[in-house]
Amino acid sequence: MKVTVARSSRRELMANRQFVETSETVAGRVLATRSRAAERLVGTPWRTIAEIPSAALHSRFRPSDAAMKPMTNCLDSSSLSARGLDRVVRVAWTLADLAGKPRPDENETSAALALWLGLHP
């Protein structure tokens, strides 16, 4: 993933932080996401999305054709490699798990692709 992080301004650093999520809240969301992935992978030799081999990622865990469209367009224009495709699909699954969805749809694949290409989703 390619993410540009701008330097925080003094105003941002001094702002009221009452609406910022706590570490516990974020940790809970991460645990729930990992749990969704683990449930999906029961009966396989893998425990996380990162462990799924490319062949399985593009067969058993392949997003729908509609969800794959943003990535196939980039493959056709050579702005995405086969290795990049694997990484984008993995991030799309993570985004779907974060959203509580059973599979990534075009929203997750587009957002994952934007992160990979260094664009703002």
The pLDDT tens digits of the residues spanning 56-82 come to 999 999 999 999 999 999 999 999 999
* 76 domain-assigned: yes
pLDDT exceeds 90 at position 3: no
Q: Domain residues for 43?
A: 22-117
* 4 domain-assigned: no
* 66 domain-assigned: yes
pTM for the model: 0.81
Question: Which of residues 13 and 101 earns the better pLDDT score?
Answer: 101
Q: What is the pLDDT of residue 118?
A: 85
- How far is the C-alpha of 38 from the C-alpha of 34, rounded, in Å? 6
Number of domains in the chain: 1
Is the distance from CB of 82 to CB of 107 less than 8 angstroms?
no
* 96 domain-assigned: yes
Tokens standing for 23?
């570490």
Is the distance from CB of 85 to CB of 75 less than 8 angstroms?
yes
* 13 domain-assigned: no
In the chain, pLDDT over 90 holds for what percent of residues? 74
* 9 domain-assigned: no
Q: What is the pLDDT of residue 52?
A: 96
pLDDT exceeds 70 at position 50: yes
